[in-house]
Structure 1
Amino acid sequence: MTGSMLDEAYERVQHTGPERNGWLSNHAPMAVEALTHRGHGETVHRWLDSYLTQLEDRPRGISAISPEQWRDPLGDPVRTGDWLNYFDRELADEPWRDVLARWWPRLLPGIAAGATHGVIRVGHAARALLDQETGPRITELGQGLAYWAARWQPLAAPGSGPYPSTDPRSALDAVPLVPDQRAGIRARLAQLAELPAWPATAGAVPGGDNDDVRTRLAGIVDAAVIRHGTHGYANPVMLVHAATAPNAVLRALPALPETLWAPSLAAAWAATAAVTAAYAPPVARPAPDVHPGLTVDEVMQQATASADAHAIKFADTAADTYGRSGDPAVLATAARTTTQIADD
């Protein structure tokens, strides 16, 4: 039942574009995947009924992109329709894992695409496909890849190291902040190149050198989730991406060749550090009070009731973190985040 509910939801949004109102991301495919994955499929169509009124039609193409000339239109949002058509063709001709494996390393350097929503949308689609391969899920993967390609945006280059090992929370606390946090994300990320400490920050991927990639990546996600509880007040919506972006990469790893795992870890850390540098405040606030007995299901219900896609996606990521740690502080953070987003 859950599988068919997700496919129905995907079919309802496949005619919509990846953005609305200029360049705000279409969160519908990500949110409905999170809801169905967490057992809240019965809320999906009602949630979509409201959200669909905000969306725009899928953009038309201008000129077909050939497989040999993909570099020139990369990062050109005017070509969004062309990218959507391109990946429709790619996935009609080849298995989805092959297309993902070919395009992942091409897109990974531009992980900041669409405020990291490109990789996040692909991560949700990959999780859905790993659960069950269906036509609507393959189409959704193509639309996620197309969005990532159209908004492809590289970050300032990391340093080459070697750097000493550090734990993810300490690494996040040490991220330098951009000097001007008044503008949009593209202007904030552009300032990273001017930060003397940025190359070492981006290059020093946290985690133990003897840990495998999944363990190190999960550690980054978990640290970003908990840190939102003390720093998320500054910009509760944008700072959720410090956790949801690396979690999208973590979800995609099982569908990728292992040769791509290490660069995926490095790019995911750079994305987390970049979002932190762009939006985190210099001063922490007290962590939320822990509520004994609070459950993942209750946290997801609260996020769903808020109707905010960012709250839903953060609660979904926090559920992954809680599944690894069992720490009630994780659920308290997710609950506070939903409240902060609703009040923002």
Structure 2
Amino acid sequence: MDTTGIYDEALTRLHSFGPERLGRLTNHAPMAVEALAARGQAGAVHRWLDVYRDKLEDFPGTHARVTDGDWAEALGDPRRAADWIAYFERLLAERPWRDVLAQWWPRLLPGMYGGSTHPVIRVGHAARALLEGGEERAPRLTELAHGLGYWAARHRVAPEVEPVPGAASAAGALDAVPAIDVREGGFPQRLERVSRLPVWAAAPATPQEAHAKLTELVRAAVHRYATHGHGEETMLVHASTAPNAVLRVLPALPQALWTPSLHAAWTASAAVTAMYAPDEAIGYQDRAQGLTPEEVFERAAAHGDEHVVKFADTALDVGDEHALSSVLYAVEISEPLVAP
């Protein structure tokens, strides 16, 4: 846990900005600074924010108040992002954050595709910060409200898909994902073309088995980036960071929600894999060559791209040589964040 206070300072600085820019692009700063602080790079947080500042827009105006009685009508309306954030700020001021999360997680989970899965990733970072000793820190509760509000405003359900044969392992099931026929357009357009996905993790016997399978999925998706990341170096990051966000939230949820969380995470990871699959894989190379996880994360932080930083953070949860090589491949093929 970051004990410097820098992460909470950064959140206070960031909460005057909106969750998006240009009407559709996600503000990644709250997620990236949490990753930096959690991985021992708190000293780099404000310098990184100074470079990222031009990608931030002012907090949006309100549209219409969200209430307990009409929230269903407001779900998935991006015009009401500020209204949703205010709604969750009120809820979190009145009730324990775990209770709010347990109530809203099953409502929001089917719509984790809105915002290209970034809202659930933001919630995952916020939950980790709260779970790791930050439950009494007001900026972290406010950050959870921003994450949940963004998710509710961008709530989008995936189209129905035809189940096709998969594999026993997560890696094999990802290999079995059929690429969409037309791989052009943005995330929403590609998502509409996802019509077939392999069956995997159909019926975990226990919540603990669901947790283990979700851990396996994150590892498989991180490993796969080392050979498939060039299909779309930025978007394929989400095949692992989205399910890892779900995994990070599980300890704060009732165990009855763990199996549906696994199913949603698998569908999201498989859909991203289908949407951005390369024509051909490359051979695996050991790019880590004895580097420690801390050294690999330092390279990701120096590169600065927000997706590379977040991917490195997820890869360090996996922690093996293959995962570290995936991070270094992302560093190699991604555009760095540079000062203006």
TM above 0.5, one fold?
A: yes
What residue number does 1:289 align with? 286
Query: Following the alignment from structure 2 to structure 1, what is the Cα–Cα distance between the partners of residues 163 and 91?
Result: 35
* 1:342 match: secondary structure: coil
* Amino acid across the alignment from 1:341: S
- Residue segments in structure 2 that go unaligned for 5+ positions in a row: none
Aligned with residue 335 of structure 2, among 309, 331, 342: 342
Q: Which residue of 1 aligns with 2:82?
A: 81
Change (3 A) 1:89 1:139: same
Q: Distance in 1 between matches of 2:277 and 2:254?
A: 34
Q: Does residue 331 in structure 1 map to residue 324 in structure 2?
A: yes
Q: What is residue 314 of structure 1 aligned with on the other side?
A: 311
Match of 1:253, SS state, is helix
Per-residue displacement from partner, 1:161-209 (whole Å, max 9, x unpaired)?
Answer: 9x776101110010011111110000000112xx3x33xx2x4337976
Task: Calculate the TM-score normalised by the size of structure 2.
Answer: 0.93
Task: Tell me the matched-pair count.
Answer: 333
Q: Which residue does the alignment assign to 2:37?
A: 36
State whether structure 2 residue 142 is matched by structure 1 residue 149: no
Give, in whole Å, the separation in 2 of the partners of 1:65 and 1:343.
Answer: 39
Structure 1 distance, partners of 2:211, 2:246, is: 10
Given that 1:2 and 1:39 are in contact with CA atoms closer than 8 Å, whether structure 2 keeps it comes out as: no
CA distance in 1, matches of 2:63, 2:315: 40
Residue in 2 aligned with 1:226?
A: 223
2:189 corresponding residue in structure 1: 187
Q: Report SS of the residue matched to 2:139.
A: helix
CA contact (8 A) 2:231 2:279 kept: no
Cα pair distance change 1:59/1:168, threshold 3 Å: same
Matches for 1:174-253 after TM superposition, within 5 Å: 174-192=176-194, 195=195, 197-198=196-197, 201=198, 203-205=199-201, 212-253=209-250
Q: Is the counterpart of residue 168 in structure 1 residue 170 in structure 2?
A: yes
Amino acid at match of 1:144: G
Quote how far apart the aligned CAs of 1:340 are.
1.0
Q: 2:166, 2:172 within 8 Å by CA — same for their partners in 1? A: no
Q: With the length of structure 1 as denominator, give the TM-score of the two structures.
A: 0.92
- Is 1:61–2:47 an aligned residue pair? no
Structure-to-structure mapping, 1:266-277, within 5 angstroms: 266-277=263-274
State the shift of 1:291 in Å.
Answer: 3.5
Specify whether residues 282 and 343 from structure 1 end up closer, same or farther in structure 2 by C-alpha distance, changes over 3 A only. Answer: farther
Q: How does 1:118-133 map to 2 (within 5 A)?
A: 118-131=119-132, 132-133=134-135
Deviation at 1:52, TM superposition (A): 2.0
Q: Structure 1: how far apart are the matches of 2:4 and 2:270? A: 35
- The aligned counterpart of 2:295 is 298
2:80–2:153: 8 Å Cα contact kept in structure 1?
yes
User: How far did 1:226 drift?
Assistant: 0.6
Q: Is the 8 A contact 1:288 1:332 kept in 2?
A: yes
- Whether contact under 8 Å (1:207, 1:216) holds in the other structure is no
2:27 alignment partner in structure 1:
26
What is the alpha-carbon distance in structure 1 between the residues aligned to residue 14 and residue 55 of structure 2? 12
Q: Which amino acid aligns with 2:245?
A: A
Match of 2:261 in 1: 264
Measure the CA separation in 1 of the matches of 2:166 and 2:33.
40
Q: 2:148, 2:204 → 1: CA distance?
A: 31
For 2:291 and 2:142, locate their aligned partners in 1 and report how far apart those are by CA, in whole Å: 37
Which residue matches 2:49? 48
Structure 1 residues not aligned, in runs of 5+:
none
Deviation at 1:343, TM superposition (A): 7.1
State the SS of the aligned residue for 2:262: helix
What is the rounded CA distance, in whole Å, between the counterparts of 1:272 and 1:3 in structure 2?
A: 34
Residues 113 and 119, structure 1, Cα contact 8 Å, conserved in 2: no
Q: What is the CA-CA distance between 1:160 and the residue it aligns to?
A: 8.0
Q: 2-side partners of 1:294 and 1:76: how far apart?
A: 45
| Compared CA separation, residues 272 and 232, structure 1 to 2 (3 A) | same
State, as a whole percentage, how many aligned pairs show the same letter.
49
Bigger Cα displacement from structure 2, 282-291 vs 11-20: 282-291
- Per-residue CA distance 1:264-323 (angstroms, 9 max, x = gap): 00000000001001111132111123443211111111111111110000000000011x
Q: How does 1:100-111 map to 2 (within 5 A)?
A: 100-111=101-112
2 CA distance for matches of 1:101 and 1:76? 22
Cα pair 2:218 2:240 within 8 Å, conserved = yes
